[in-house]
Amino acid sequence: MCFDCLAPNNTYSCTIPSGQTSCFVSLVSGTGGVKSVTFTGNDVSPTPATEDATVHGIWAYFAGATSSTADYLKVYALDVTNGKLSYLKDTNFPGDASGIGANVMMFNQDGKTLYVGLSYNSVPSTRVYTVDPVASDLMKIQSLTSSTATQWISVGNNVMVLLAGGVLYSYTVDQSDAKLTEVGYKNLNTEGYDRGCGSVSVSPDKQYLYLTCATAPNLPNFTSYVVAYPIDSTTAVIGSQASYTFANSAYNVVNYKMAQATVVSPDGSKLYVTSNDQKIYAYYITSGALSNPVDTTTTIGGVTGFADAGLLVKTPGGNAIELIRAITSGSYSNSLLIIGIQTYSTPLTLVNNLGTSPANSAIFDPSGKYFYTASFVAGNLSNNQIFQYGYNSNTGAFAPLTPESISTNFSSFIRPAIAISGTGNY
């Protein structure tokens, strides 16, 4: 899905992703909504054919938990003219009793189908919901596995989900009703990664996926890997392992390395991986295979003392700005770093360091001008808040919006998650 197709002279000007025929355009009336425009012509020179008069909202869904038994989902309206969120309502995931907390959420590229990993009174499950673009209401259309989801991955028109047990499922998406059909899975335990796998990234051409995995043949020591698999770009079915790179990890050893978050450069030439030895490593990609890691920075953005850097988020369109979550050693007092990787060369450049609140999940708005984090307040894991930031074109950096933080009244140790409608796979 593409956004901001409305040029200053009120003419449509945008590049439509291959295979798509419609875009959302921001309204200039200040209502904060968007309209849908269907185009004709080719992907390079599209011509607007019809404009849907319906004003679609852009909704932010913040999932957490409270000590009570209700209101595990909060909905906010996003004003596309200034990036600010405004509270809309408390709700819950429909069709279920109370006691649900969402660990991970992701919208598909259609911008209106929400994939969720839920904990239902300690019984996990994965669900599919559709979103009313006008009223923001959710409707459950499918229940999938009874396992904890750790990450949803969008692969073109298809979807993958990584489960905590180390199984990666592939699904095709029915374009008529948004339901998922399982087409295959990969049991990563039987691949030799008995300690499971974490972050998953997909190459821009949708032909390879990259995972961080671990083995532990001799506990308490374990070994960390970065693994590459080919995938079918049409069905998202996973092939045989293409390559892996040893990340040299040994638990209980000082300065041990453990691969954590991953992100592929927009041109597909490099894979960036964070490690809890306070560094970011670059792997050069050749026909899907990975090189040995290259240390791209002595410390993350020149900031020392981090024990964990577990979150990388790429801007829509791959604008080469990455969001880093870093946890300082020995505490939950976090720093939120914006790392600019404009040329994807070394060294990495620290654009700015924003605050000290740990982000469990983070997401950019559809335009890439604003981003939001589902965060704990530093030193208090039971105080869940949303932090919002906007891009300043004059300084080339992100800065807090006003207000910077939005209290959610969630007060649980369940990890909060945030998803924004219209933000699918870019």
232 contacts 200 by C-beta, under 8 angstroms: no
Using the 8-state DSSP alphabet, how is residue 268 labeled?
A: S
List the domain range (segments joined by +) for residue 36: 1-56
pLDDT band at 378 (very low <50, low <70, confident <90, very high): low
pLDDT band at 92 (very low <50, low <70, confident <90, very high): confident
Residue with the two structure tokens 């200039």: 28
Of the chain, the end-to-end C-alpha distance in Å amounts to 7
32 domain residue, yes or no? yes
pLDDT by residue (tens digit) across 15-41? 555 555 556 555 443 445 566 666 665
Write down the pLDDT at residue 9.
40
- Residue from 92, 21, 82 nearest 61 by CA: 92
Write down the pLDDT at residue 168.
94
37 domain residue, yes or no? yes
The phi and psi torsions of 377 (rounded to 5 degrees) equal -75, 135
Give the mean model confidence (pLDDT) for residues 283-291: 86
Query: What total of structural domains would you count in the chain?
Result: 1
Pick the range with the lowest mean pLDDT from 54-58, 94-98, 401-405. Answer: 94-98
Write down the pLDDT at residue 321.
47
33 domain residue, yes or no? yes
12 domain residue, yes or no? yes
| Higher per-residue pLDDT: 325 or 88 | 88
Determine how many CB atoms are found less than 10 A away from the CB of residue 12. 15
**Cα separation, 98 vs 197, whole angstroms:** 30
DSSP reduced 3-state for 397: strand
- Residue from 60, 75, 68, 141 nearest 100 by CA: 68
In one-letter notation, the amino acid at residue 19 is G
pLDDT higher than threshold 70 for residue 161: yes
Give the mean model confidence (pLDDT) for residues 100-111: 77
pLDDT band at 100 (very low <50, low <70, confident <90, very high): low
Residue 48, judged by CB atoms within 10 A of its CB (0-12, 13-18, 19+), counts as middle
Write down the pLDDT at residue 66.
59
Write down the pLDDT at residue 197.
85
50 domain residue, yes or no? yes
pLDDT over 90, % of the chain:
9
In one-letter notation, the amino acid at residue 230 is P
Mean pLDDT of the chain: 71
pLDDT by residue (tens digit) across 51-89? 665 666 788 888 876 555 455 788 888 887 788 898 888
pLDDT higher than threshold 60 for residue 304: no
98 contacts 72 by C-beta, under 8 angstroms: yes
pLDDT higher than threshold 80 for residue 319: no
Residues near 393 by Cβ (< 8 Å), separated by ≥ 6?
none
149 domain residue, yes or no? no
Write down the pLDDT at residue 310.
55
Write down the pLDDT at residue 242.
79
**Cα separation, 326 vs 328, whole angstroms:** 6
Determine how many CB atoms are found less than 10 A away from the CB of residue 399. 13
Residue with the two structure tokens 């028109």: 157
**Cα separation, 308 vs 384, whole angstroms:** 20
**Whole-number Cα distances in Å, 273 to 49, 303, 324, 412:** 43, 17, 11, 30
Write down the pLDDT at residue 10.
44
In one-letter notation, the amino acid at residue 425 is N
pLDDT by residue (tens digit) across 180-230? 999 999 999 888 888 888 888 888 888 999 998 888 777 666 778 888 999
1 domain residue, yes or no? yes
Instruction: Name the β-bridge partners of 313.
Output: 323
Write down the pLDDT at residue 172.
92
Write down the pLDDT at residue 166.
87
236 domain residue, yes or no? no
